[in-house]
Every structure is written in structure tokens, then in C-alpha cells.
Structure 1
Amino acid sequence: MPPKSRPEPVTVRSMADDVRGRTDSELSDLLHRRQDLARPAPADLSALAARASTRASVQRAVDSLDLAHLQVLEAALAAPETTTSPVEPTDVATLLGARTSEVTPLLDDLWSSALLWRSPEGARVVRTVGEVLVHPAGLGPRAVDLPGAAAAATPAEIATVVEQAPPAARAILDRLTWGPPVAVLPAGTPDRVAEGARWLLEHHLVRSVGVDQIALPREVALALRGGRSHRATVLTAPDLEGQERPLEAIDAAAGQQVTDLLALVDELAAEWGLRPPRVLRSGGLAVRDLKRIGSVLDVDEARAAFVVELAYAAGLLADDGSLDPSWAPTPAYDEWQQQPGDQRWAVVARAWLLTTRAPHLVGTTPAGASGTVNALGPEAHWPPARSLRRDVLDQLSTAPTGLAPTQGSVADALRWRRPRRVPGTLDVVITAVLREAEWLGVTGRGALSSAGRALLEGRDESALAAAMQPHLPDPVEHVLLQADLTAIAPGPLAGGLATFMRLVADVESRGGATVYRFTPDSVRRALDAGWSVDQVVVALSDASHTPVPQPLDYLVRDVARRHGQARVGAMRAYIRCDDETTLGAMLAERELSPLQLRSIAPTVLVSPVAAETVVDFLRENGFAPAAETPDGGIVVPQAGRHRTPLQRRTSPVTASGVDDELVTTLVGALRAGEQAADYQREQVATRPGPSLPSTDPTTTLAVLRDAAADRQAVWLGYSEADGRVQRLLFYPERVEGGRVHGTAEGVSRTLSIHRVTGAAVG
């Protein structure tokens, strides 16, 4: 039999009855709004209602409310006698100073989210909501729930008493009126304040709730507020404000940012492939290494940290796992580097959107920490970063196309959208997200780009690449060599040419065109990598539309003439050179004294220091040696090829949403489970009490708490110490510490909740 789309009418006495009476579409709406209820799948509608009433689930639902729904829910809690009477939309509207027509749709939404339930008399707030919102809208408990005599019955009587209050008492009321409603008066409180508190206690405007605490009753606070629950009611989202920009200009700016970013990642990989920095003992990258890579990339430390963290999040660099570990590019980088620019961007953009790394924390000192946060370190892992990043970008996506909203308007919109989930550092986070989005090309000139919108829509990498491709300049396969020892690349260079230019020259400036500068050190870098002088000259000639300038030709040949004149070997090291003058200069150089050089022949020096160190020292002091193999050949290092071992790529942890297909299947299963439960109840109608289907501890806990609050009896299946399952009609009084206290058959008993096999209201 197919599940029923509309259940039979039931008598609504509780939240469970309300859920059982919902239609399939209403149940689907509930599961979409509160997706935590769908996993794991509840057995039936009673289990669904119990789970929706648990504190953890209600906490999650309340935290996800925007300011409009939160204020309406707080006003519903603040309405007179909410716990015993239904919530009237007119009362809520009066407390908010709004129209009933504005409040009613919001109350309907709260019912759809199962934060309210409906009885024939009207809607009621779910009891657990009061446990989550302890002081709704900054209001304290009702007078009847506080110790002491009742307060004045009407707002007019309260106002009359308040008018007689002395200044000290009035000052205390002013501090408590809009919350928090509890004040602490420790020993040593000034006499004037103590006298004011004593006057308020004597006139029942506040209540003593502890040795040194006083609380303002809800009725008094509402009277002082003029019958309003909130100082300012905001039932509509604030509009984003900013400047309008043409979409073409936005996408063009985003494309240029992506070009610069991909070049920075390539330079990072080239630098760390040649000289990988060490991993700190505590993990992460040393501050001096971050400053060094920032200098190499010619960017500030904030952007250098972003590039490093982005490459790490995308799996393009990692700890190489060696005995003396260092940070180096991964084999995945080599594959990524060969892809077109649009596909490369799609990989890093998705990694940035999903990562829980927070580059903006690098260099800061968190509260309670003993040191600063290092790039690539464990302290830069901040789980809220992903959701906050998404929230900021979602605000940009709601803005009209081409609007570059101001940071202040984004902050206001986010505070309205997630009033209970914004950190104290929200402004810092928004600044960081907007800055990183600009660097990544998700935004251009402050507005969301076309490719950035595709990223937020969750498109696959091929669609992301297609969205970015029209805005990236086409790669070029030539450079313009100039007589001042520079070369200009009029656009992003093709893969092989880009690798060669980074090897033989240093990047001097970036922009629409990249300027490379040739220096003796950069040319020597190419010769150290195994290139001959003729190969370097021919490669430059092939890459240029103009002949190689004479100064550049002279530079290359001059460096090549001196390159390899001195040879370094391991004895631990020896230096041989046909030019005795060169060896004499080495012996006379004071900066080379740590090498402990000693002449053993007119053309040979030896050193107890390792050959690699000797080579580095000589190069740092103006010499141009070449490393030599034991058989006299030149050592050709694999420049830029240090790589981490092949590692298994782990995807970011994400929570998949509840889709329509899953919800439809789940609603059918819930209907079938409820029909099965009805059948069991019919079969055991002659037995005392209802049937006791197996319930999980979460459901059992919710049933017992509701029964204790309503002072109702509960039928329990309870496993005794000898293994027998006993059927009890139990009257719970309180639930705490995994146990329930109450009476059964007139005898006080304490039962362990984990031994309860089933529970049903009697």
C-alpha cells in the first residue's frame, strides 16, 4: 500500500501528535529546513518528533535563524503565559511593534521548522526552545518562576512604583532593562548601589536569586520597555550598499588577478623545488622562510601566506616526509602545471572554497596562545573559516550583478542573516575573505565575477573552467629581448617557455606584461641545471622575435667562460683550478675561512667541509665553481625538481545536503514505520498500556523529559539486572546524569536510561 499523503485526523496533544498530523509536503519541508533530522533516518514519525525536540537539534535550528525569525521566536517566548497558553500572532506583533501581517508568515515558518507546534487552540513554542534561549530578548524569568512574592500585577502599577525609585535604584533598573536581566552584587559593593538594590528588593521590582545575585522579572522588564520585547525590531534584511561596476570590467579584473595568481604559484613551486624550506618541529613554515618567499614573489607577507596556504589546500605542495622534512611541490603540481590556465584556476578555486585553513590568521597571536600562528601550521586550521567564507560570498551573490558592496554593508547583512553565529572578529574575517576572493578572481574590483558566481552555484570543474576561460589572456610563446638585459613577456607564457624563463632570468615586475631580468646569478642557474652556453643562446633566440641583444649575448658567454673554472669534489671536498691566481684568491678570502682550505698542489685545494657546502660558500663570495663527479664530469643537479613522495590525496570533509529524492524516500519510510506502529498498537490493545516499540536513547530521553515537565505517566520497558524486561507505568520527576528519578507502583525508583528498551506516554 503506498504511503498516505495526508494522515487521518488526530487529537493534537503534543509535538509528536503535531508531526504525525503533517502532510507529506509539510514533512518534506521540515526535513529540508532541518537536515540533521534526516541522518540517521528515524524509524517513524514519533522518533522524528522526539529528535526534533532534542536540545542539540533545537540549538542547531535556532542558531540557523535570521534576525527576523529569531526576534519573532523570542517574542513568542516572551508573550504572557506562553508555556500554558497558545501563542497569539497579535500578542507577538504587539511585543515587536509590528503588524500582524508581518509576523504571521514568520510564525508559519517557525512551525514548518518544528520550533512551534500547533494544537486546536493555537501554536505553542517547543519546550526545548526555552532551554536554548534562556533569556529571550534579554528578558529574565517570569515573576511566578522566581522566589519571593509576586510583583505588581499590571504595567501601570509597576510604573507607579518605578516612579518612586531613588536614583541608585533607577540606575540598576536602567542597566537591567534591556538585558542581561541578572546582576551580581559581590561583597564590597558601594553603599549607594547596595541601598538601591535593597529598595528594589523591598518593592518587589527585582528578586534575589542567589547570595549575591538579583534578577529582573520579565513583567517588570516589559513594563520598563514600554511593552516592547526588543529595542529595535528588524524584520527585513538590510540592503547591500556599494558601487555599480560594468560586468566586463569586473571579469577583466578577475582574469588579470587569476593570471597573477597562477604565476605566483609557479614561482613558489620553482623556488621550493630548488630550495625547499624545512618543516618546523611543531609543524608549519618558519617566519623567516615566509618572509623569504614573500621577497621572492615580490608580495607582502599576507599575500605570500595566502599563496602558500592555497597551494597546500589544493595539494600542490606538502611535507616531503623525509627524516629532515621540508616543504616541497607534490607530483600533483607537475600535472596541474601542464593544464590550461582556466582548468588550473578551477582546481585552486574549489580548494579555497572548501578548505578550513585560514590564511589571515598567519602572523597573529590568538588569545591564550604563547606564539604567533605559522603558515602551514596546525594553528591556521580554523573549522569556522569554511562556513564564514561561504556566508560572506553568499551575501555577494544576493547583490545585484555588478554591485561591489562595502565591507560595512556586508557585515550588517551577515549579522542579520546569522545573528547567533557571527564571531567577535567578524569584521576581520570579512576583510580577509573579500581580499582573498579578489586575489583569486572570485571577485573583480569588489564585485562577484561570472566565474565566481559559477563557483558558488556548485558547478563542476569543467564548467568553472569554461566560465573563467574567456577572461584569461591567451598564452604567448615569445618574449621581447631588450638591450638593458631585460625581457618582456606580453602575456602569460606557455608552459615550456615559462619554465625556461624562470630558470634563466628573475621576475622583475608583473602586470599585463611580465618583465624578466637577466643577471649573472640567473644565467649561472641555467648553466648549473645542465644547459650549455650555446643551448641558452639558441633558446633565447628561438623565444624572441628579435635577435639576441649583444649585451645579453656577452653576459651569457662571460658567465659561461667563468662557469666551471673551479671544480669541487668530495674528500670531503677538493677544489682544482688551472688558474693559480684564482686559488690564491680563495686562500686569501677571509669569508672562506670556515672552509679551512689548504693547498696540496699549485692547482688543488682541499677542505674538510662537505662539497655541497664548499660550492655554496664559493658562490656566495663571488666565485663560480662547478660541482665535479669522482670521474671528472660535471654534476648536473635536477634544478627545481625536488618533490614530495606520491601521496594519497584526501578530499576536504564536506557535509552533503539532503536532496529531494532522499526526502521523498524518507517520508515514505516514515509513513510506513508509523503504519507499522499503529498496527502493533492495535494488536496489543487488550494489554495494559500502549505498545512499547524499541526506542533509541535520544527518543527515550525526549519522551521522559516531556513527561516530567507535563507530569504525565510513561510506560517503560526496563531491563533488570537479571536480564528480564519489565513493563512499568512510571511517573518521572526529573531527568539528569543519564538517569530518571520518579515513582512506579507508589515506590520511588531511579532508572538508568540506557536500560530502557522502549517508552510511550501512558
Structure 2
Amino acid sequence: MAINRREPATGRSLADDIRGRDDRELATLVLSRPDLARPAPADLTSLAARASTRASVQRAIDALDEGHLRVLEALVVAAEPTRSEDLHPVLGLLGVSEAEAPTVRSLVDDLWARALLWRGSDGTHVVRTVPEVLGPSVAGLGPSYRDLRPGAPVPTEAQVRGALDVAPEGARTVLDRLTWGPATGVLPTGPAGTTAVRWLLERNLLVSVGSDRVALPRETGLVLRGGRLHRSVRLRAPEITARDVSARVVDAVAGGAASDLLSRVDELCAAWGAEPPRVLRAGGLSVRDLKVAGRVLDVEPERAAFVVEVSYAAGLVGDDGEIVPVWAPTPELDEWSASAAGHRWAVLAKAWLASTRAPHLVGSRVGETPANALGPGVQWPAIRGIRREVLVELASLEPGMAADGASIRERLHWRRPLRSATLLDGAIDGVLREAEWLGLTGRGALSSPARTLLGRATATDSSIPPPSTLTQPPLDEVAAAMSPHLPAPVDHILVQADLTAVAPGPLEGSLAAFMRLASDVESRGGATVHRFTPDSVRRTLDAGWTAADVLDTIRRASRTPLPQPLEYLVTDVARKHGVTRVGSSAAYVRSDDEAVLDAMLATRDLAPLRLRRLAPTVLVSDTDPRLLVDLLRDGGFSPVVEGRDGGVVLTGAEQRRARARRRTAAPTATPVDEAFTANLVAGLRAAEASADERRAEERARPGPSIPTTDPVVTLALLREAMADGHGVWIGVTDQLGATTRHLIHPRRVEGGRVYATDEAGRERTWTAHRITGATLDTP
């Protein structure tokens, strides 16, 4: 990037400072605060105005780590311009030795690079909006005595120390409770406490801020804290505690977890295709249906919620949108199921990383209601950034190094000190757990496919790269990274004499679908054990398979001879299957074996069906045919449904499909990367040159020159003038479109209006949208 630096200005404001930065410094500013680039500012003055807005400063401060935040707090409390060669006041407030001066100086330079500070001829200043964002209680200190008692003389440090030296024990107790925050308290009710507070108020060590509240002034608080803002300050990121795990083992474990996830997603979609659960009125999946899904997948509810949510994030399941809505597989499942295993995993991994839903919140309470899987209570946009931060921290370790969860939490607390510790801890634990289930980590270490998924994101001690600067790898590249580590699909099983079959690995597509239909999973692991039962065989026959087809399919897939018990099981179930048929003439039962009908009539448990004989081989009932089939099967019989033409109706589970979720095209905004920033800076330089020419032309005209400025710039300039007590020339359009000039002194800027006094000293109000531009009144 070419270097283009203007002559440094005397530095009256942030705008002067930014106009004096070279191209590389401007690019660093935009990359560290991408919100400044969208929409692209008109010129450098507009960039400076946007950088000083409350919303932008709030985002910038939220992104600071503990080291930068503590230095910024010290600069705010110092309240004086700070020179790089004299950091003693800042070091004293931080409570660090002179040896840390280079580190503090580096942090100050970083804050300046992010435009939270600006440099003038008298030193480094804090941007005016920063104290507003930090609030009146910086570092837990109360407001200054000047703010609490405007116009009153501020007690000196010697006066405060002298009063503290003779403070009675009760007064010291009150001060100890307020020293490290909060700096306000309620007046005590007892006589001893009232006496102590009165003593402190009389000596200006406390200030009354209401009828029953008092505040500890900042000056008193600093003396009580020994001149420090915090008990301890960590200027550098804590180290991550890690143990060595073989990278080969990590990838193997991750591959196994990924294969297991693919299998469970297949099972979930197959189960929901046959019997889709209802969508709750408030949205989401009921607790009962989540437990059913857990039993189907043979996992605990937390992991079932993860499988459900990642399937939803990948677009494989969704609300079918019917009058009675259900959660069902979408048409996208068919294409996904036909893909290679590596591609299928990559779809799930990228969907999870980009999802704004937090599966770990399922079961917790959001207000008065619990958060249900697939419900609105699990929506939490912050989780996407936390996922990325956790994975980037793991990526900072050498391959094969597993991080300790406690050290990851401590490091992220340092990186994001303004976040709620409780919420952050729960999110970090959830991300680490889900990353292990997903196959992004193995035994606590980041897998090589996960490193490919993250692209070139690498954490440093100073920062985590912003998402806008990262290039997301294509799906095929991520799939290729995982494919070598996934267990190869097998096309055979090992049938055993105890009616079980062992799958020595993940089964290939058609065989896996058959085994899910014809057997029940008994145990999982490196090898999956399937068990054939009368119910599972009947389920296969209900789907239209014949006994010969079932046995022939098992025989072709098995590497071991077909045991006689399995043949007996299939033929016995097939022999009974369809002997009894249920019709829909309210319903009727027909059987060539009269003894079977006699047994039905004699069975006490079937009495509620009110069966009665119409013919030696026919019974009728008022019960719904499908319910009649279920109850007869519960009674030990094996009926099938008969159609109107006398043929057998196949009652195999119909695979339901939800309508594909409409995916709106993502906005094609150019990422704020180095190339984009270089073009933006070049454009800002050209715009600034044009602005200089316009300002020169304005100065050549008689009277004050008022350039047309962006509304954001105008309001920022008015607020700055209000704070400094400067006059401002503004251009205002009237209802006829004519522009008039006014010299004003702003008093208040809020609600889209400017309250000020004009050159005649009259109080007037102007609406912001009628102000065409503004410039400071210079002598």
C-alpha cells in the first residue's frame, strides 16, 4: 500500500488527527473498526465524525480486551492530555511499575490507531464520546467532586488524606464498603451509622445525591484505593494451559465423531419423516418430543438438542407450514443424503459455525418460559462470535495440543471483560462440547479439518482478527480436509446367531437405510450392533418387503452365514403377517382361520373393541381401522390392513417432507478486507483533496464560509462546539428553499433538534434536517 501522509495538523480535534494520518494508519483504523466503512464515508471529516458517534465508540469499546480497556479507563480518569514520554500518571492509576511502560505505551498506540484517542500538540486526548460510553462510574469509581458539586472547591489529595487519618472507626467502615464499588449507598438507619455518615459529609469525603443516598467522590475513592483503579491489572493475555495429544489421534477421534453425527442426523430425519413432531404454538419442539428424539438417537437430551439444531441450521428439517404444522425433513435432505460423507459434514460444520442459534440454551429459562429446541428462545446472535473466538484460541496452539477448558474461559474473559461472566462461561462450555460432537475437536485439541474451516484466523496476544478480514474457504475444500479422517463406509454386516448384526463401520447408503428399517440399534461405537426383533421385521413387511426379500438382502450383505434363528424369526413373522386383515367398513376383521377370530372374541383385553361376528370368518367393530390394527397387535395378533379391492395395503411409514425453507440471498457486500480498505482510503484521499479545494473557494468568498456537510458530521461538530463553548456558523434552508447563515452557540443537541442562542442572544431551535452545513467560528 502506498504511503500518503499529510502534514500533521496542530491537532485541535479527532478530525484534525485523522486527516493527518497516513494511508497505512487509516487502513488500520478501518480494519479494526469495520462499521466505519459501511456505508463508505464521503471524506475524512465524515470518517472522523462517524468514529466519534456513540454507537461506533460503543462497538469499539466492547471489542477491547482487558489490557486496552484498563489503559483507556486510566486515561479517562487522568482527564489530562498524556504525552508518550510521560506515562507516570497512567502507570500509577494502573498500579504497575516503570518496567511496564513500553507495554502501556504500545496499548496507548493501539487505542490511538482505533481512534479512541487523538493526538494534539499538547499530548494524547481521549475522544469525547468515550467517557459517555464508559459511564460516570469508570472502574467502579464515583463521579468527580466537580460533577457532584458544580462550582464548589475540589478537595486536594492532602485534605482528603488528612481527613482520613482522623476518621472514626464507623466512618472507615462506611468508606470500606464503598471503596471498590459501587460508589453509591443508602443512608443507614441506625444512630451510629447516621453519625458516621454525617461526619463524612461534613468533611466532603461523601456527597449527598438524594434524600437517602450518598456518593463517594472519585477523588476520595482514588485515595482509598491507594491511587489505583483496580486491585490487579492484567495487561497481557493469560496463557492457555495445554497438554500434548498426538495430531493423528486428534484427527482420528474427530473423524469418528463426525461420522457418528452424520449417522444420528440420518436417524433423526428418518424418524421425523415417518412421524413428524408437532410445532408448538409459540414455536419450537416440545420437551416430550425432544425426549423421544433422544431415545431414537440413544443420546442425552442436550446432545439430541444439538443434533436437532444443527439439522435445522443446515436446512435439513423445518416447519412444513401446514394448518397443523409439524417438524419434517425438507427436500434438501435428499440432495444432502446423496452426497459424499465429507461434503455432508462440511455442510453441517459451516451451518453450525454461521448459525445464530445456541443449542446449549435449550432447557434454560428465558424470562418466565423455558427455551425449547427450535424455538425463539434459543436465538442468540452473540453465540456466533463466541464460537469463532473459542476456535481461534484453539487454533493458536500447535497442532495436537489440547487446551484446558478453565484456561480458555480465563483467556476469553480477558479478551471480553465487558461481557457477563456467567453467560460467557456457559457459552464457552457449550461451544467446546458441541465442537467435540461435531468433530471440530478431538480430545480437546483442534482438528486439521477445523483449521481449514477457520481459514487463516489466528489469535495473537493483542487481538482476534475481525470476521470481515477473513476469507471463508469453499465447501469443497472443507469437505476434502475431513474426508481422509472419516471411517470408510462398509457394504457388509456380520450376522450372529443371537439375532444381532454387527456393522464394522458406517454402512453405505442403501444398506444403512435397510438396517434402520429392519433392525433396532442396540449399541454404538466403532462398530454398531443391530438387533432383529419381531417388531422390526414386521415394520419391514409393512413397508412392502416380503420375507424372501428380507432374507435375501441380509444374506447378500452378511459376511457370515445366515443363522437359522434369524430365518425362523423372519418366516414366522411373515407367516402370521397378513393372516388377519382389517378393513374400513367401520372396521371389519376377516380371517380364513376361524380359531383366530374365536381367540379375539375370547380375549378380555379386546372387549372395548366391541367385536362381533358377522360370519364364521368375519368380525366387525366400530373402531377406526388403524387403531384396530394397533390394539390387535398389542393383543398378540398380527393383522394387516386390507384395501377395498381385497388387496393388502402397505402401511410402511410415509416419509413426509416439509417445504424447503426460503433462503433469501445474502447481501453481497464486499468484505472489509485489505483490498477493500486500500480502495476506500484512496477514495477518501481524493474526496479530501476536493473538499480542500471547496474550502479554499469558500474562504475566498466574502463572509463566513459554510461548506455543505454530511448530517453526521454536522451534528458531531455541533456537539463538539457545545462541549467547548465555541460558536458555529450554520447554513439553514427555509420553506422556500433559500439558505440563510446564522452564528449560534449550541446549548443542546437531541431529538433531531438543535437548541442554541443566536448572535442576538435569543434562544432558538433549528431542526437538524434543515441545516445544510456547519463550520466553527474562527477569529
TM over 0.5: yes
The verdict on how the C-alpha distance between 1:655 and 1:589 changes in structure 2, with shifts beyond 3 A counting, is farther
Separation of aligned partners in 2, 1:257 and 1:499: 20
State which of 767, 770, 775 in structure 2 corresponds to 1:752: 767
The 2-side partners of 1:424 and 1:17 are apart by 42
Aligned length: 754
Pairing partner for 1:494 from 504, 508, 513: 508
| Residue matched to 1:394 | 392
Conserved 8 A contact 1:87-1:124: no
In the alignment, the residues of structure 2 paired with residue 654 and residue 545 of structure 1 have an alpha-carbon distance, to the nearest angstrom, of 53
Cα distance in 2 for partners of 1:86, 1:745 equals: 41
* Aligned partner of residue 22 in structure 1, secondary structure: coil
Please tell me whether the aligned partners of residues 276 and 642 of structure 1 are also in contact (alpha carbons under 8 angstroms): yes
**1:233 maps to what in 2?**
233
Against the structure 1 CA distance between its residues 738 and 649, is the aligned structure 2 distance closer, same or farther, given a 3 Å change threshold? closer
Counterpart residue number, 1:311: 311
For residues 443 and 202 of structure 1, the distance between their equivalents in structure 2, rounded to whole angstroms, comes to: 62
User: Kindly, what percent of the aligned residue pairs are identical?
Assistant: 54
Aligned CA-pair RMSD: 2.2
Deviations 1:189-240 (A, max 9, x none): 3332222221111011122233333222222222222222221111110011
User: Counterpart of 2:268?
Assistant: 268
Corresponding position: 1:672 with 2:686:
yes
2:731–2:771 Cα contact (<8 Å) kept: yes
Distance 1:516 1:682 in 2: 85
1:378 paired residue number? 376
Paired amino acid for 1:180: P
Name 1:610's counterpart in structure 2. Answer: 624
Is residue 2:632 matched to residue 1:629?
no
1:470 — aligned with what? 484
Cα shift at 1:720:
3.0
Name the counterpart of 2:283: 283
Shift of 1:348: 0.5
Question: Conserved in 1, the CA contact under 8 Å of 2:547 and 2:574?
Answer: yes
Query: What is the aligned partner in structure 2 of residue 115 from structure 1?
Result: 116
Is the 1:151–1:205 Cα contact (8 Å) retained in structure 2?
Answer: no
- Give the secondary structure class of the aligned counterpart of 2:204: coil
Q: How far off its partner does 1:722 sit? A: 4.8
2:460 paired residue number: none
2:467 corresponds to which residue? none
Corresponding position of 1:182: 184
Cα deviation digits, residues 354-377 of structure 1 (max 9, x gap)? 1111111212223x31x3222111
Give how far 1:591 is off: 4.0
After the TM superposition, which residues 396-415 of structure 1 pair with which residues of structure 2 at under 5 Å, given as runs?
396-415=394-413
Aligned partner letter, 2:179: T
- 1:679-728 Cα offsets, whole Å, 9 max, x none, are 112222223222321422x3222111111001111121223345433221
* Cα distance, 1:478 vs structure 2: 0.4
Equivalent residues of 2:612, 2:621 under 8 A apart: yes
Equivalent residues of 1:402, 1:448 under 8 A apart: yes
Structure 1, 497-506 or 451-460: larger mean CA deviation:
451-460
Residue 337 of structure 1 corresponds to which residue in structure 2?
337
Closer, same or farther: CA 84–200 of 1 in aligned 2, 3 Å: farther
Runs of 5+ consecutive residues of structure 1 not aligned to the other structure: none
**In the alignment, what sits opposite 1:250?**
250
Distance (Å, rounded) in 1 between the aligned partners of 2:281 and 2:603:
36
Provide structure 2 residue ranges, at least 5 long, that are not aligned to the other structure: 456-471
User: Does the aligned pair in 2 maintain the 1:743–1:749 contact within 8 Å?
Assistant: yes
Show CA shifts across 1:422-467 (max 9, x none). Answer: 4532222222111111111111111111112222223222111121
Summarize the Cα distance change of 1:115–1:424 in structure 2 as closer, same or farther, 3 Å threshold: same
CA contact (8 A) 1:272 1:640 kept: no
Counterpart residue identity of residue 426, structure 1: L
Structure 1 pair 356/651, CA: closer, same or farther in 2 (3 Å)? farther
Checking the alignment, whether the CA contact within 8 Å between 2:6 and 2:19 is kept in structure 1 is yes
Does structure 1 retain, via aligned residues, the 8 Å contact 2:597–2:617?
Answer: yes
Aligned equivalents of 2:668, 2:244: Cα separation in 1? 34
Matched residue, 1:419: 417
In structure 2, how many angstroms separate the alpha carbons of the residues matched to 1:760 and 1:620?
88
Q: 2:101, 2:433 → 1: CA distance?
A: 42
Q: 2:567 aligns with which of 548, 553, 558?
A: 553
Structure 2 counterpart of 1:436, from 417, 420, 434: 434
Deviation at 1:395, TM superposition (A): 2.0
TM-score relative to the length of structure 1: 0.95
Compare 164-173 and 687-696 and name the one that shifted more: 687-696
Listed one character per residue, the Cα deviations across residues 544-597 of structure 1 (whole Å, up to 9, x for unaligned) are 112211000000000000001111222232221112222233334444445443
Query: Which amino acid counterpart does residue 744 of structure 1 have in structure 2?
Result: D
Deviation larger for 545-554 or 202-211 = 202-211
Question: Is the partner of 2:394 in helix, strand or coil?
Answer: helix
The Cα shift of 1:527 comes to: 0.6
Tell me what 2:103 maps to: 102
Q: Deviations over 1:657-682 (max 9, x none)?
A: 41112111111221122122211122
Distance in 2 separating the partners of 1:106 and 1:32: 17
Aligned residue identity for 1:453: R
The answer to whether 1:125 aligns with 2:126 is yes
Offset of 1:650 from its aligned partner? Answer: 5.0
From 156, 159, 162, give the equivalent of 1:160. Answer: 162
Q: CA deviation at 1:14?
A: 0.9
Verify the 8 A CA contact 1:88 1:123 in the aligned structure 2.
no
Kept in 2: contact 1:695–1:759 (CA 8 A): no
CA distance in 2, matches of 1:709, 1:413: 39
- Which of 579, 596, 599 is equivalent to 1:585? 599
What is the distance in 1 between the residues matched to 2:72 and 2:250? 41
> 1:344/1:196 Cα in 2 relative to 1: closer, same or farther (>3 Å)?
same
Deviations 1:153-180 (A, max 9, x none): 23x4322210211122112211222222
Q: Which amino acid aligns with 1:397?
A: A
AA partner of residue 314 (structure 1) = A
- Kept after mapping to 2: 8 A contact 1:86/1:121: no
* Offset, 1:84: 10
Match of 2:459 in 1: none
CA distance in 1, matches of 2:776, 2:634: 84
SS of the residue corresponding to residue 488 of structure 2 reads: coil
Which residue identity lines up with residue 754 of structure 1 in the other structure?
H
Contact 1:489 1:514 in 2 (8 A): yes
Residue 364 of structure 2 corresponds to 364
Q: 1:650–1:102: structure 2 CA closer, same or farther, 3 Å change rule?
A: same
Which amino acid letter does the alignment assign opposite residue 112 of structure 2? W
1:88 Cα deviation from its structure 2 partner:
4.6
Distance 1:269 1:102, change over 3 A: same
**Counterparts in 2 of 1:604 and 1:93: CA distance versus 1, 3 Å:** same
The equivalent of 2:461 in structure 1 is none
Pick closer, same or farther for the CA change 1:404–1:504 going to 2, 3 Å.
Answer: same
Does residue 67 in structure 1 map to residue 79 in structure 2?
no
Who is 2:464 aligned against? none
Single out whichever of 2-11 and 394-403 deviates more from structure 2. Answer: 2-11
Distance 1:650 1:607, change over 3 A: farther
| 2:315–2:330 CA contact under 8 A, matched in 1 | yes
- Residue type of the partner of 2:255? G
Partner of 1:82: 80
Residue range with higher mean Cα deviation, 123-132 or 717-726:
717-726
Whether contact under 8 Å (2:81, 2:122) holds in the other structure is no
How is 1:555-570 mapped onto 2 (pairs within 5 angstroms)? 555-570=569-584
Q: Is 249-258 or 749-758 further displaced after alignment?
A: 749-758
- The whole-number CA distance in structure 2 between the counterparts of 1:593 and 1:726 is 96
User: Deviations for 1:112-168, whole angstroms, at most 9, x for unmatched residues?
Assistant: 0000001111110001001011222222222222217434323x4322210211122
Counterpart CA distance in 2 for 1:232 and 1:153 is 26
Residue 173 of structure 1 is matched in structure 2 by: 175
Greater alpha carbon shift after TM alignment, 283-292 vs 63-72: 283-292
